[in-house]
Amino acid sequence: QVQLQESGPGLVKPSETLSLTCTVSGTSITRNYYYYNWIRQPPGKGLEWMGAIAADGSAYYSPSLKSRISISGDTSKNQFTLQLRSVTPEDTAVYFCARSLFLTTTGNRDDYRYWGQGTQVTVST
């Protein structure tokens, strides 16, 4: 069974870089046709697609975050990582990793077959 698990610090200071890792089990991230996504949900708001990495390592980013975001994969550990630079309190959210069959930029939960449990990240001094 495919499982995803987010890990990383729960507290980040403004202007620093937020780094989260998603560990995938039950399948390989290099298996063709799947996309591994980062999605977040700020308090009181809906899901926001941030970006994705494909099986071949190609990365895709939300236009609103493109100047600050990087997503990369580590095939030896079957993990993919999110880095979000120059964070502000507006980046406070629950961060999820999720797998999709297609490259989808939506915040529609039904577009993603497998999800991690989510991890709370707070940006604060």
Question: How far, in Å, CA of 103 to CA of 86, rounded?
Answer: 26
Q: How far is CA 35 from CA 6, 61, 66, 76, 120, in A?
A: 16, 12, 18, 17, 22
Under 8 Å between Cβ of 11 and 124: yes
Instruction: Determine the pLDDT at residue 32.
Output: 76
List the pLDDT tens digit at each of the 125 positions of the chain: 999 999 999 999 999 999 999 999 998 898 878 999 999 999 999 999 999 999 899 999 999 999 999 999 999 999 999 999 999 999 999 999 999 999 988 889 999 999 999 999 999 99
